Amino acid sequence: MIIDSHAHVVLPNERQIEWMEEAQIDKTVLFTSVVHPEKASSLMEFKKEMGMLYDIINGIKNPIEERLKAIEELKSAIKENPQRYIGFGSIPTGLSYEENLSWIEKYIVKNSFYGIGELTPNSGQVELLEPLFQASRSTGNLPLWVHTFFPLVTQDIKILLDLAKRYPSVSLILGHMGGIHWLDTLVACKDLSNVYIDLSATFTTLALEFAIREFPERVLFSSDAPYTSPLSAKINIETLIKDKGLCQQVLGGNIANLLQIC
């Protein structure tokens, strides 16, 4: 089974299914999206959508109403194609342990989502995720998917990995492999068996090659659609991996094992 382990809700939903069919992807782990750059028809429209995204990633905005609307979009997409999608639900940054528990119960567990993310702490805010690690541990160890590209720096990723070390029962997925800090990130997570590495939006194909070589059971194929086409992301993996068994493992086996997908 080929599983795209990280893509965002695309509008219209039919386009996402078309992309999956084109890439021969069986299932997609679908995440919410407050912005929809795929709808932009001009460079300025795209810039506007990306400006909203950067405000969220940089901690300028943490929009609750928009987040709840995006969760409804995700629920609707999964309901239309339950055999093709499974969901990860978003959560605001900076909640207390009790607030995290309440949000998880109301918006993650009740919607039968498989994990929590995408989490986008700003640089200097990663420690705010500790109550969420605690809440995840209390609610069945739901995996946490954290954006580790810009604006996070090496020190932020170190703190994140320290949290993973403190909460070994909670699976942590490092979104985008640390961005430009990918090499330090790979070295730092070598002995952390609960840390998984998302292969989307990587800084260089060398990062993909070394991640797959060093962590064959902990790397996760993903497209981060609509920011990369699923077909392009899949071709990158198939080009790098000559061993068919390993290729199947990276393209779906690892995330299937992590999320216990039949």
Q: Which single residue is written with the structure tokens 């509008």?
A: 11
**Which pLDDT score, from 0 to 100, does residue 48 have?**
78
Q: Give the pLDDT mean for 130-155.
A: 96
**26 contact partners, CB below 8 Å, separation of at least 6:** 1, 2, 3, 20, 84, 252
**Which pLDDT score, from 0 to 100, does residue 102 have?**
97
Identify which has the larger pLDDT, 40 or 159.
159
Q: Which residue type does 129 have?
A: L
Least confident window among 37-41, 67-71, 122-126, 192-196: 37-41
**Which pLDDT score, from 0 to 100, does residue 171 have?**
98
Residues composing the chain: 262
C-alpha–C-alpha distance, residues 135 and 104, integer Å: 8
Identify which has the larger pLDDT, 3 or 50.
3
Q: Give the pLDDT mean for 179-198.
A: 96
**14 contact partners, CB below 8 Å, separation of at least 6:** none
Give this prediction's pTM. 0.92
Q: Give the pLDDT mean for 56-83.
A: 84
pLDDT in tens, 9-41: 998 899 999 999 999 999 999 999 877 767 777
- Determine which helix (DSSP H) or strand (DSSP E) holds 87, and give its type and residue range: strand 85-89
Q: Give the pLDDT mean for 160-189.
A: 97
Average pLDDT taken over every residue of the chain: 93
Least confident window among 92-96, 162-166, 213-217: 92-96
8 A C-beta contact, residue 39 and residue 11: yes
Q: Which residue type does 59 have?
A: G
**Which pLDDT score, from 0 to 100, does residue 62 have?**
61
195: pLDDT strictly greater than 80: yes
C-alpha–C-alpha distance, residues 21 and 8, integer Å: 16
**Which pLDDT score, from 0 to 100, does residue 76 have?**
95
